[in-house]
Amino acid sequence: MSAENIGQLVVVLVAFGAATALPAWTRAGERVFVPVTTGLLVLAGLLAAVPTSVVVDGRPLTAVLVVLGGLLAVAGGGPVTARVFALVDREDTGSSLDRAGRVLRGGAWIGALERAAIYATLVASWPEGLAVVLALKGLGRYPELRAEGEGTAERFIIGTFTSVLWAAACAAV
């Protein structure tokens, strides 16, 4: 398999990952499509990293890869983060989960914007942008996190780490 073929396969895997990320936003789709989307991202990452040479030939195909990667970063990160929360909150009685949801309003939108910003800074070869994004998010949420107790700060940290790692993985591909 040539370097160009591997590059084309990476683009196709990222496209399928972005396509499976959209139905993962539904309750029914979360259990099925989150593992599929994650598997496609891992496979694309391995294909991009393991061979000595991977070529995405031409500006149009490169632009398509960047756009699809951004879509996968933004759309795929929300359901993945929700799935991680579901695993973490298995033994929660519901009260701390509900309280954290009320305190951290707008989390899905903030997470989507955070993933878009992180993806953009990494693709633009400006890793310092990570610090800017995370500082803005932390400072913006600090008063809410300080005022609340049990579970809220932990959910903020888990959500942020999951979201950042997802966007960084998409940018790495």
Rounded Cα distance between 166 and 21, Å, is 12
pLDDT tens across 96-114, in order? 545 545 555 677 788 889 9
Compare 29 and 162 and report the one with higher pLDDT. 162
pLDDT tens across 124-140, in order? 999 899 999 988 887 77
Query: Residues with Cβ < 8 Å from 55, sequence gap 6 or more?
Result: 3, 4, 6, 7
pLDDT tens across 65-108, in order? 999 999 999 999 989 988 888 888 776 655 554 554 555 567 77
Strand residues in 18-98 grouped as ranges (E): none
Cα separation values, 130 from 42, 43, 45, 99, 169, Å: 22, 25, 21, 28, 13
Residue count of the chain: 173
Is there a contact between 151 and 102 (Cβ–Cβ < 8 Å)? no
pLDDT tens across 19-56, in order? 999 888 888 888 889 999 999 999 999 998 887 788 78
